[in-house]
Amino acid sequence: MGKNKLARFAENKILPNVFQPTREEALNQHPLKGKWRSEVFKNNNPLVLELGCGKGEYSVGLAKAFPEKNFIGIDIKGARFWFGAKEAHEKNMKNVAFLRTQVELADCFFDEGEVDEIWITFPDPQIKYRRTKHRMTHPDFLERYRKFLKKDGVIHLKTDSEFLHGYTLGLLQGLGHEIISAHHDIYGAPEYEPGTPLLRDIRTYYEGLFSAKGKTITYIKFRLKEEEYIR
């Protein structure tokens, strides 16, 4: 393991906006579950998650653009999101934090209806059939999100994978979920989601690489159908 990575791990331990619970803590009623607004952000503003946040560019970018909302970037790779956590701390941004854990455990940290919105940015498309259940828009994942997403909450998927874009559209249509908007090329189209101007304004590290290679960037905004919400 390189010295830079070790240094980032060490700094994550002291950054006030980084939370690194153990798996055991996650599975045994984490103390912040249901209390992120009151205990971490000290307000009652909407809570937005970025799942698989990578270097945290989107979490930080969204937090800058929407100071009236709280943002949490989630990723298991702390050496990556250190970049976003470090920038947010140095700029004294109080509305963004980072949680080091597996996305599969997210429902262990957030209470029913606690989250207002979810962003999924450039996840691994898991193209091989045997990896189907690992796709972050697979029905199993959608049901996990349902456990903590409020009833009218929205989910955003931004990806360079035409495969994942098509898979997700077909899945959502088949299951009867509400597709609010869908774009096959957010940079090539003359117009895009008017309520989400940051589709173009914020770029992740990987998005820059993908765009440079000529890959199209796709987007879906959707809402889980209400009648299946856990009561």
pLDDT of residue 29: 86
Answer whether residue 227 shows pLDDT above 80: no
Structural domain span for residue 206:
112-231
Q: Would 58 be classed as within a structural domain?
A: no
Give CA separation, 35 vs 32, 83, 154, 179, in Å. Answer: 5, 25, 21, 30
Tell me, yes or no, whether 142 and 177 share the same domain: yes
Q: Would 56 be classed as within a structural domain?
A: no
Mean pLDDT computed over 65-76: 97
Answer whether residue 196 shows pLDDT above 60: no
Classify residue 147 by burial, with Cβ atoms within 10 Å: 0-12, 13-18, 19+. middle
Q: Which long-range contacts (CB under 8 A, 24 or more apart) does 128-135 make?
A: 135/164, 135/167
Mean pLDDT computed over 85-101: 97
Catalytic residues: 124
Tell me, yes or no, whether 229 and 154 share the same domain: yes
Q: What is the pLDDT of residues 14-41, one digit of tens each?
A: 999 999 999 999 999 899 999 999 999 9
Q: Would 55 be classed as within a structural domain?
A: no
Tell me, yes or no, whether 128 and 209 share the same domain: yes
pLDDT of residue 207: 85
Which CATH number covers residue 222?
Answer: 3.40.50.150
The pLDDT-based confidence of 90 (bands split at 50, 70, 90) is: very high
Taking alpha carbons only, the member of 97, 125, 120 closest to residue 32 is 97
Handedness of CA 93, 12, 25, 100 (dihedral sign): positive
